[in-house]
Structure 1
Amino acid sequence: MTPRAGQTEAVINGYASTMRILLLATVIAAFAVGQKPPNIILFMVDDLGWQDVSVPFHANKTEFNRRYRTPNLEKLAARGVKFTNGYASAPVCTPTRTSLMTGQCPARTHITYWTLRKDRDQSAKHALVRAPKWDVNALQGKRTTLPRALKAMGGYGSIHAGKAHLGAKGTRGEDPTNLGFDVNIAGHAAGGPGSYYGVHDFSAKHRSQDRVWDVPGLDAYHGKDIYMTEALAIEARKAMRKVAKRGRPFFVHFAPYAVHAPIMANKRYLKHYEGLHPKEAAYATMIETADAALGALLEEVEALGQTERTVVIFTSDNGGLSAHARGGKRHTHNAPLRSGKGSAYEGGVRVPWVVAWPGVTKPGSVNDQVVVTHDLFPTLLSMTGRSSGRARSAALDGKDLVPVLRGGALAGEERSVLWHMPHFWGVNGPGIAPYSAVRHGKWKLLYFHGSRKLELYDLDADIGETRDLSASRPEVLKRMGSLLTQRLRDAKAQMSIDVKTGEAVPFPDALIR
Structure 2
Amino acid sequence: MKKTRFIMHSIVLLSIAWLAVLTSCSSVVDKEKEQPNIILFLVDDMGWQDTSVPFWTERTPLNDKYHTPNMECLAQQGMKFTQAYACAVCSPTRVSLMSGMNAARHRVTNWTLRRGVSQDAKDEVLEFPKWNMNGLQTADSIEYAVDTTPLPQVLKDNGYFTIHAGKAHFGALTTPSANPCNLGFDINIAGHAAGGPATYQGLKNYGHDENAIPLSVWAIPGLEKYHGQDINLTEALTTEAKLALDSALSVDKPFFLYMAHYTIHVPIEADNRFYQKYKSQGLDETEARYASMVEGMDKSLGDLMDYLEQKGIDDNTIILFMSDNGGLSAHARGGELHVHNAPLNSGKGSAYEGGIREPMIVKWPGVVQPKTKCDDYLIIEDFYPSILEMAGIINVTPKQDIDGMSFVPMLLQEGSTAADRDLFWHFPNKWGGHGPGIGTTSTIRSGQWKLIYWYRDQHFELFNIHQDIGETNNLAAEHPQIVKELAKKLGDYLRSVNAQRPSNKQNGQIVPWPDEVQL
Whether TM-score is above 0.5 comes out as: yes
Select the residue among 321, 324, 330 that pairs with 2:337: 330
Query: What secondary structure sits across from 1:84 in the alignment?
Result: strand
1:17 alignment partner in structure 2: none
Does structure 2 retain, via aligned residues, the 8 Å contact 1:194–1:205?
A: no
Cα distance in 2 for partners of 1:210, 1:392 equals 39
TM-score, normalising length: structure 1: 0.91
Instruction: Tell me by how many angstroms 1:479 deviates.
Output: 1.2
After TM superposition, list the pairs within 5 Å mapping 1:23-422 onto structure 2.
Answer: 33-35=30-32, 36-88=34-86, 90-142=87-139, 143-153=148-158, 155-203=159-207, 211-273=216-278, 274=280, 275-324=282-331, 326-387=333-394, 395-410=401-416, 413-422=419-428
Instruction: Indicate the SS of the match to 1:212.
Output: coil
Amino acid of the structure 2 residue aligned with 1:263: I
Classify 1:240/1:417 alpha carbon distance in 2 versus 1 (closer, same or farther; 3 Å).
Answer: same
The structure-2 alpha-carbon separation of the partners of 1:341 and 1:80, relative to structure 1 and needing over 3 Å to count, comes to same
Give the distance between the partners of 2:305 and 2:127, measured in 1 at CA. Answer: 45
Say whether the 8 Å CA contact 1:165–1:190 is kept in structure 2.
yes
Q: Residue type matched to 1:194 in 2?
A: A
Mapped pair 1:472 → 2:500: no
Tell me the CA shift for residue 307 of structure 1: 0.6
- In structure 2, distance between residues paired with 1:419 and 1:82: 23
C-alpha distance in 2 between matches for 1:503 and 1:152: 46
Q: Please give the secondary structure, in 1, of the residue aligned with 2:382.
A: helix
Correspondent of 2:509 among 488, 503, 509:
503
Tell me how far apart the structure 2 counterparts of residues 236 and 434 of structure 1 sit (CA, whole Å). 38
Paired AA for residue 227 in structure 1: N
Distance in 2, Cα, partners of 1:391 & 1:179: 16
How many pairs align? Answer: 482
Give the C-alpha shift of residue 503 in structure 1.
Answer: 2.2
What is the deviation of 1:413? Answer: 4.7
The match for 1:12 is: none
Report the residue type matching 2:161 in the other structure. G
Counterpart in the other structure of 1:485:
491
- Alpha-carbon distance between aligned partners in 2 of 1:412 and 1:300, rounded to the nearest angstrom: 35
The alignment partner of 1:254 has SS state of: strand
Aligned with 2:276: secondary structure? Answer: helix
3-state SS, counterpart of residue 217 of structure 2: helix
| CA gap 1:394/1:141 in 2 versus in 1, 3 angstroms | closer
Structure 2 portions without partners, runs of 5+: 8-25, 140-147
Structure 1 unaligned blocks of 5 or more? 1-21
Distance 1:325 1:167, change over 3 A: closer
Q: What amino acid does structure 1 have at the position aligned with 2:513?
A: F
Judge conservation of contact 1:325–1:331 (CA < 8 Å) in 2: no
Counterpart Cα distance in 1 of 2:435 and 2:342: 15
SS of match in other structure, 2:339: coil
> CA offset at residue 241 of structure 1?
1.3
C-alpha distance in structure 1 between counterparts of 2:149 and 2:266, whole Å: 31
Asked if the contact 2:99–2:400 (Cα under 8 Å) also holds between the matched residues in 1, the reply is: no
Q: CA deviation at 1:150?
A: 1.2
* CA–CA separation in structure 2 for the residues paired with 1:134 and 1:266: 36
CA distance in 1, matches of 2:149, 2:234: 29
Contact 1:481 1:512 in 2 (8 A): no
The Cα of 1:127 is off from its aligned counterpart by 1.8
Checking the alignment, whether the CA contact within 8 Å between 2:156 and 2:185 is kept in structure 1 is no
1:452 and 1:161 map into 2 onto residues whose CA distance is 42
Q: Is the 8 A contact 2:378 2:418 kept in 1?
A: no
How far the C-alpha of 1:394 sits from its partner, in A, is 8.5
Do the aligned partners of 1:106 and 1:112 also contact (CA within 8 Å) in 2? yes
Aligned-partner Cα distance in 2 for 1:488–1:213: 34
Letter in 2 for 1:399: M
Partner SS, residue 213 of structure 1: coil
1:195/1:204 contact within 8 Å kept: no
Report the Cα distance in structure 2 between the residues aligned to 1:120 and 1:366, rounded to whole angstroms.
42
Structure 2 CA distance for partners of 1:267 and 1:392, relative to 1, 3 Å:
closer
